[in-house]
Structure 1
Amino acid sequence: MAAPIGLTVEAAGIDVAVLPLIPTGADIASQSIVPPFTDDGYWLASYGTPGDASTNTTYITGHSWEGREAPFDRFSTDTEAGDTITVTTGTGTLDYVVDSITTHDKDSLKASEIWNIVPNRLIIISCYTEDPWGKNVVVSAFPASN
C-alpha cells in the first residue's frame, strides 16, 4: 500500500496528479470537504490507502469547472461503467474497473452509502457538470481482476 500520486482514465482522457488532503476539524464537523481549487486530484489521506492490504475505501476528489475544460469534468461526461482507472502510487500502479457512476445532491452526500467502509474500493467525487452547484458525481471502482 502506498499513497496515490496520479490518476488516469485513458478512455476519458483523464490524467491528473493526486496530492494528499487531510480534512480539517471544521471539515469533519461540517461533514463537507472542499479540495483546493486546482486541476489536481486530492486523496483524502485520513481514509483508505490503495493496495492489496487496504482496509478502507480510498477517496479521491477534485473540482469540475464551469465555463472551462477540466479533467474532473470528464467523470460526469466521458467515464462509463467498465472503464479502467489506473492509480499511480510511489510503488507502482493499480488498475480499478468502474462499477458505477451516480449523482448525489450535495446536501445529502454526507449521508450517502459511499462513506461505508469497503476495503479496496475506490471512490472519486467531483461536481456534476450539468449541475455543479447542486450535485456531485460519484464514481465507484474496484480492483481489476488479475
Structure 2
Amino acid sequence: MTPRILRSWWSFPVTVVIIALICAGAWMLVQGFSDEQSTVEDDAQIQLEEPPDKAEVEDMQIEALDGDFQVPSVGLDTGLESMTEVNGAINPPGLHNGYVVRNHGTPDHPERGTTYVAIHSVQGAELPGNTLIDVDAGTAAVETGESVTLQDRDYTVTDSYTVSKTDISGDDRVWADEPGRLVILTCLQRASGRSADNVVIEAVAN
C-alpha cells in the first residue's frame, strides 16, 4: 500500500511511505474577509476541508500522551496525542495538539529511528502549528540550533526546508529512518491562495 501526505486543501498519492497529512486542509467560515485580512481566533470558524468521519477517527485510536510538544523559540507549547494512519492518510482530528504517528517511524523507541509529528496550520489562523511557519518569508520560522521538546526528550533542530506537495513523496530527506531523529510536518501557508508546499523541520535527540 502506498502512503500519501494529505496537504492543505488537497491530497496526492506518494510512493515512499503511507503518510497523508492534511496540514492545513482547512478553511475559515468567515464571510467578507480577504485572505490578507484579520486572523481567525474562534475554532468554530475553522473547518477541515476533508474532516475525518466518525469511523475514521475511531480507527485512528487517538490517545493522549504524557508530556508536551514545545518549540520555545517560536512560543509553541501544546499537548500531544498519538494516532494511527488510516486509509493511507494522516488527518489529525484536532487543530491544537501535535500528533505522533503511531504506525510510521519508531515512536515507541525514538532512539532507534525517526519519530514523525504532524500538526495543523491554517491560513489566517492563530493555531500552534502556525507558529512554525513564516508566511512572509515562505520558510519555517524555526532555525537550526533551536530546541524542541517532545514529551521527556530534548532535540536540537538540524534543518528546516520546504518541499513541494507534488515532490514530497519521493524526497529521501523526509522519509529517512535514522536513530534519534524527529521530523515535524506542517503546511506552509501563504498570504493568499492555497498552500502549495509542506514545511519539514528536522531535529536530532540531544
Query: Structure 2 unaligned runs (5+)?
Result: 1-64, 135-140
Structure-2 residue corresponding to 1:120:
180
List aligned pairs for 1:1-146, cutoff 5 A.
Answer: 5-24=67-86, 26-27=87-88, 32-46=89-103, 47-49=105-107, 54-77=111-134, 78-88=141-151, 93-113=152-172, 114-130=174-190, 133-144=195-206
Instruction: Check 1:40–1:95 CA distance in 2 against 1; reply closer, same or farther (3 A cut).
Output: same
| Residue pair 2:182, 2:203 contacting (<8 A) in 1 also | yes
**Structure 1 residue 54, shift from structure 2 partner:** 2.4
Give the Cα separation in 2 of the matches to 1:87 and 1:100.
Answer: 17
| Residues matched between the structures, number | 132
- Larger CA Rg, structure 1 vs 2: 2
**Structure 1 residue 94, shift from structure 2 partner:** 1.1
Give the Cα separation in 1 of the matches to 2:128 and 2:194.
Answer: 14
Give the Cα separation in 2 of the matches to 1:101 and 1:56.
Answer: 18
Instruction: Check 1:106–1:5 CA distance in 2 against 1; reply closer, same or farther (3 A cut).
Output: farther
Instruction: Check 1:11–1:50 CA distance in 2 against 1; reply closer, same or farther (3 A cut).
Output: farther
Q: Which has the higher helix share?
A: 1
Give the Cα separation in 2 of the matches to 1:97 and 1:106.
Answer: 25
Identity of aligned pairs, percent? 26
| Residue pair 2:185, 2:200 contacting (<8 A) in 1 also | yes
Deviations along 1:89-140, one digit per CA (max 9) or x if unpaired, are xxxx111000011001112212112112111100000011237521110000
TM-score (norm 1): 0.81
Structure having greater relative contact order (Cα 8 Å, sep ≥ 6)? 1
TM-score (norm 2): 0.59
CA RMSD of aligned residues (A): 1.9
List 4+ stretches of structure 1 deviating above 4 A. Answer: none
Give the Cα separation in 1 of the matches to 2:185 and 2:66.
Answer: 15
Give the Cα separation in 2 of the matches to 1:37 and 1:65.
Answer: 12
**Structure 1 residue 50, shift from structure 2 partner:** 6.3
| Residue pair 1:50, 1:120 contacting (<8 A) in 2 also | no
